[in-house]
Amino acid sequence: MNLSTTYNRMKNPIRLALTTLLIVVPLTSTAQIGKYRNTFSIGANAGAALSSVGFDPSVSQGQHVGLTGGLSWRYTSEKYFSTICSIAGEVNFAAIGWKEDIRDANDNPVVNTNGSVEKYSRTLNYIQIPVFAHLAWGRENNGFNFFIQAGPQIGILLSESTDRNYDSPNLDAQSGRSNTTVEQESMKVENKFDYGIAAGAGLEYANSHIGRWMLEARYYYGLGNIYGSSKRDYFSKSNIGNIVIKATWLVDLSK
């Protein structure tokens, strides 16, 4: 993959990250204007991840559904006019990957020579560490607020597993797959380190007796590839993308 293609693929996520920094840096660098805060919170999160892999050549896919959860923390530094400014992070376990949508030329499920409707999915178990600029508007304590957050995320692959019900795919011209890209089915992940940009939005309810509860929808765009992407490799692109719906609970340790 040439430098121009790489640049074009990375341009929009990098623009998102730069925009986030341009918003957050002026806020955090003018603490004398805002109202100082010193609230450190820790807790836990859990949810579901709907993921896929952006292959090129393309692979027909549905959504791979897996669980994610781990530890959360947040440090609130100030309230700038009506904006509550924080930095937040997580250390999560996430079961992500891809699930193939195997169809023939007539958009019907493909039946293998063993008599089964072909099914294939790959689960990739990661430790993921995102760090966010977190901005919120509304009630800081004892009420609701709306928040957005964005920042970088890294991931380390722990293990992978495959769920398939055939030995060889049906590639027959009449009854077989319309999408004949199958190399990924026998390839182990080559790059165990993943990185990208994550951004989300949600609602938080804070109560002095039960802590802080958040419900969030988040999108992650991987900037790395799980397979090699040089000219001699089969795939020029194989980046992870996922949508995460999760709940988080935090308790304040200091104010």
Tens of pLDDT, residue by residue, the chain (255 residues): 444 444 444 445 555 555 555 555 554 444 456 788 899 999 999 999 999 999 999 999 999 999 999 999 999 999 989 999 999 999 999 999 999 999 999 999 999 999 999 999 999 999 999 999 999 999 999 999 999 999 999 999 999 999 999 999 999 999 999 999 999 999 999 999 999 999 999 999 999 899 999 999 999 999 999 999 999 999 999 999 999 999 999 999 987
> What pLDDT, on a 0 to 100 scale, did the predictor assign at position 149?
98
> What are the tokens at 61?
């896919």
> What pLDDT, on a 0 to 100 scale, did the predictor assign at position 12?
58
Distance between CA atoms of residues 111 and 57, nearest Å: 23
Is 78 within the bounds of a domain?
A: yes
Residue 204's CB is within 10 A of a number of other CB atoms, namely 22
> What pLDDT, on a 0 to 100 scale, did the predictor assign at position 46?
99
Relative to beta strand 83-99, strand 64-80 is antiparallel
Is 162 within the bounds of a domain?
A: yes
> What pLDDT, on a 0 to 100 scale, did the predictor assign at position 129?
99
Is 200 within the bounds of a domain?
A: yes
- 225-233: Cβ within 8 A, 24+ apart: 225/191, 226/53, 226/124, 226/189, 226/190, 226/191, 226/194, 227/184, 227/187, 227/189, 227/190, 227/191, 228/190, 228/191, 229/1, 230/1, 231/1
> What pLDDT, on a 0 to 100 scale, did the predictor assign at position 29?
47
Q: Into how many domains does the chain fold?
A: 1
> What pLDDT, on a 0 to 100 scale, did the predictor assign at position 137?
97
> What pLDDT, on a 0 to 100 scale, did the predictor assign at position 16?
56
> What pLDDT, on a 0 to 100 scale, did the predictor assign at position 254?
83
> What pLDDT, on a 0 to 100 scale, did the predictor assign at position 255?
73
Is 36 within the bounds of a domain?
A: no
Residue 216's CB is within 10 A of a number of other CB atoms, namely 19
Distance between CA atoms of residues 176 and 163, nearest Å: 20
Is 166 within the bounds of a domain?
A: yes
Tell me the pTM. 0.85
Distance between CA atoms of residues 122 and 162, nearest Å: 5
To which residue do tokens 């722990």 refer?
Answer: 158
> What distance, in Å, lies between the first and last C-alpha atoms of the chain?
50
Residue 51's CB is within 10 A of a number of other CB atoms, namely 25
Residue 22: domain span: 3-31+42-254
Is 37 within the bounds of a domain?
A: no
